Structure 1
Amino acid sequence: MTSTRKTVDQLRSAVQDVLPSVRADLEALVRIPSVSADPARKADVERSAEVTADLFRAEGFDDVRILSSGGGAPAVVARRPGPEGAPTVLLYAHHDVQPVGRREDWDSEPFEPTERGDRLYGRGAADDKAGIAAHLAAIRAHGGTPPVGVTVFVEGEEEVGSPTLEAFLAEHKDLLAADVIVIADSTNWEIGVPALTTTLRGNVDVFVDLATLDHGVHSGMWGGLVPDAVMSMVRLLATLHDDEGNVAVEGLVSGPAADLEYPEQRIREESSILDGVELIGSGSAVERLWTKPSISIIGFDATRTADASNTLIPSVRAKVSLRLAPGDDATSAIDKLVAHLHDHAPWGAKVTVTKGRESGEPGVIDASGPAYDAARAAFKEAWDGTDPVDIGVGGSIPFIASFQKAFPAAAVLVTGVEDPDTRAHGANEGLHLAEFERVCLAETLLLNNL
């Protein structure tokens, strides 16, 4: 199944040869602010799809289409058949990106790729335009004619939860049918140690509106008797965790995780947690990150301190994000969260819970069989003899469950270009360039092995 040493050496050299052009194409993609969550960036998302399609047309793909379903964002599908009897490999990435957030948190312009040290910084430089670039590198390293059939699928709305993917798969299933699906949207264990992702948490979110007053009243006249909305919301949100920081919503699934050591010092460095701040929860670190639920308060609307007066605040709003463990169900989990919030309203506060847009199932992948053997051999070669580890991911890629449902006979390989300090979704997102080179080589070898 593995390549000969001569073939490996040839492919290593080929990857080296194509990396400069791949890097240039990646930087061009990063310069397009394809923020799918921002309606004002609709034209940029469309331009990103056009540029992506042109990249694969330039590689000799005759069947390249920009498609959408149900009013969704444009996706690129590029197909090239392989030799008779060869398997077909679907290469997935996405061309949309997260919003920038606060510009002042960035050390360089978010949409101007900038090399500093060992990284290339920019929004989408890793998540997930580097996934597109890795696919390009593998195809170019094979001279545009890889030894397998290749279908490239580059989605345009992953960062908003892939809301029309189910419709897209139903409408274009025949175009995307494959024996092996390679999803380049995850992470490696650490710099120098590759990984294959085998479990992912799901995610749901809700908006919590809480009111205690019809209108604001004088805090001196009524404070101490009438509860204000912020005080009440704080008490309500505090019920979501126990004193150790474990999620306290009843009925959510938890499970065991792989036997991998994640040292606390490494956690502290990679998470940027401040000195003296304690880690929360119980169980091993990887259980808390991969196979137990977590709840985060990711938004809060109330009176700004600059606008504060001596007034009891009548109403507030919070956005609550729940990551659910593999084996749980998104519909059941969100119902349990909503019930908990209603049941724990303090002092009779009026609580309204509205389900958000995010609703993704957790994923569990069977990492056995010939395709995984081929992947592990390719990764070991690309990382100079270091075996890949099977990991879980605390984040969510809900569409993996959709792929598994649509193509139950296909082997799904979840790989990625990221590392623990990539800072995807945050300021100063960066691609580790040496790891990216290994990723490109690994995918090139994988196509050869398959």
Structure 2
Amino acid sequence: MTPGDIEDAVAAAMPRAVEDLKALVSIPSVAFPGHPEEEVHRAAAAVESLLRDAGLPTVRQIPVAGSFPAVYAEAPAPPGAPTVLLYAHYDVQPPGDPALWDTPAFEPTEIDGAVYGRGAADDKSGIITHLTALRAFDGRFPVGVRVIIEGQEEYAGERLERFVEENPDLVRADAIIVADCGNPAVGDPAVTTSLRGMAAVTVEVRTLKDALHSGSFGGPAPDALSALMRMLVALHDDNGDVRVPGLEKGVFDGDAGTDEEFRQGAGVLDGVSLVGTGSIADRIWGSYAITVTGLDVPTVSGAVNAIQAVARARVTIRVPAANDPKTALSDVTAYLEAQAPWGVHVTFSDVSVGSGFQAPAGGPARAALDRAMTRAFGREPRDVGQGGGIPLVATLQRQFPEAELLLFGAEDEAARIHAPNERVVIDELRRVATAEALFLLEYGAS
């Protein structure tokens, strides 16, 4: 096949790719506790069927201890050709408040050249990228292909890390494509070379045996919610920088754009300031970030005049690539305990950690990818960092130090992953799938 044949094949496959994406997005495959597990299994079965249809001779679901199954597929390498591992995940974030969505989260909707719905970008677009690239070869792949699509990346993804450590031969490859990243903007190609690690914990504060009437006891009775709020506010200084000892600010040798570009991409409201100090790249790729991602307290609509006996918060820590998330978690929990007022009882639970990633200098696979992306996008890709984490990547780097890890995908900064109205741009999906297929062609020839 020629590069032109690849481009034509991917273009012809796009209508089917969009329909397959919509079918996947319609499955609410949320792997968080409290959500229907059968929907996650239904997504695994759908991915298994799609991989069979892509011409891979071996496809199966494989159990992952304590987690949902991964979907695995492989095709042998032609004589002398390298092997490429393709990774994505089929689970998604919870949709959150339905009222914040313009269209239902699990009813994929095509609007102005984009598909909207939970998981349309993160990371079912990654699955469709792999499928569309593989379909371009009609079962005659120029490299050995291994595919692993996991089912619990968004929640407790370390379970697949343990599986890889125990089954290295199953995923061994010369190059590894992780299609769970994206570009700074649509049409602006990029390869992610740095990932922050992540740690998360639930902090619980208890002050009373039971909630109390605020009129009869308000004043001297310690309010668990007030105590928790004081602890959480203490995590940042007045500029918004993290003030936890040990979590020092860092720098990133790269450009993430201007403050104004960031404001537009993040949808920051007029008159609302950005927080923290340093460049945008320093703040999102080189430094720690702490976010309160959830609170267990009475809702406003159901509030009664009571002093709360217990309050909980989910705290997430983003960790610079070179630093240890377990150490960061220890620093944060120790600091929260030190900030706890009035002798309140503080406990921590539901811990999750994932290591960061820093890519070494590029080799032949990166060179082939650069050429492929340049042809697909009409411009050379640039190196970027990513503030989020992908738990498996550090394990793959540690397990296979000679393999080249290539992180890219069809997401972009305006895709609203993990937020209402998530979307992926169809033309961006085409360009990324084209780049992946061109990479497989060229890497196989080299």
Aligned-partner Cα distance in 2 for 1:274–1:59 = 44
Out of 319-328 and 181-190, give the one that drifted further: 319-328
Counterpart of 1:235 in structure 2 is: 230
Give the aligned CA root-mean-square deviation in angstroms: 1.9
Listed one character per residue, the Cα deviations across residues 184-226 of structure 1 (whole Å, up to 9, x for unaligned) are: 0011121111111111111112222223444444545554545
Separation of aligned partners in 2, 1:285 and 1:7: 41
Report the counterpart of residue 422 of structure 1 in structure 2. Answer: 415
* 1:99 aligned residue: 94
* More displaced stretch, 177-186 vs 197-206: 197-206
Q: Does 1:368 align with 2:377?
A: no
Are the counterparts in 1 of residues 158 and 354 from structure 2 also a CA contact under 8 Å?
no
* TM superposition shift of 1:434: 1.3
Instruction: Please give the alpha-carbon distance, in whole angstroms, between the structure 2 residues aligned to 1:175 and 1:365.
Output: 22
Unmatched 5+ stretches in structure 2: none
Partner of 2:7: 12
Q: Deviations over 1:322-355 (max 9, x none)?
A: 1111211121111111110111112x23141314
What does residue range 370-409 of structure 1 map to in structure 2 within 5 Å? 370-384=364-378, 386-409=379-402
Task: Calculate the TM-score normalised by the size of structure 2.
Answer: 0.94
What is the alpha-carbon distance in structure 2 between the residues aligned to residue 289 and residue 141 of structure 1? 36
Q: Which residue of 1 aligns with 2:161?
A: 166
- 8 Å CA contact 2:58, 2:74 repeated in 1: yes
Matches within 5 A, 1:315-394: 315-346=310-341, 348-384=342-378, 386-394=379-387
Name the structure 2 match of 1:3: none
Distance 1:108 1:344 in 2: 42
Between the two proteins, the alignment pairs up a number of residues equal to: 443
> Quick check: 1:201–1:393 contact (8 Å CA) kept in 2?
yes
Structure 1: gaps (5+ residues) = 1-5
Letter of the structure 2 residue corresponding to residue 34 of structure 1: S
Flag the 1:121–1:391 CA change in 2: closer, same or farther, 3 A: same
Could you tell me whether the CA contact under 8 Å between 2:161 and 2:391 is conserved in 1? no
> Alignment partner of 1:296: what SS?
strand
Report how far residue 367 of structure 1 moved: 4.2
Deviation string for 1:233-254 (max 9, x for gaps)?
A: 2222121111111001111254
Quick one: distance in 1 between partners of 2:321 and 2:315? 19
Q: Select which of 114, 123, 128 maps to 2:118.
A: 123
Q: Which runs of 4+ in 1 moved over 6 A?
A: none
User: In structure 1, how many angstroms separate the alpha carbons of the residues matched to 2:52 and 2:301?
Assistant: 54
1:235-285 deviation line (CA, Å, top 9, x unaligned): 221211111110011112543213315222222222122211111111101
Relative to the length of structure 1, the TM-score reads 0.93
Partner residue in 2 for 1:133 = 128
Map 1:7-406 onto structure 2 (within 5 A): 7-38=2-33, 40-220=35-215, 223-346=218-341, 348-384=342-378, 386-406=379-399
Percent of aligned pairs sharing the same letter: 41
Q: Match of 1:334, as an amino acid?
A: L
State whether residues 202 and 351 of structure 2, in contact with CA within 8 Å, keep that contact through their aligned partners in structure 1.
Answer: no
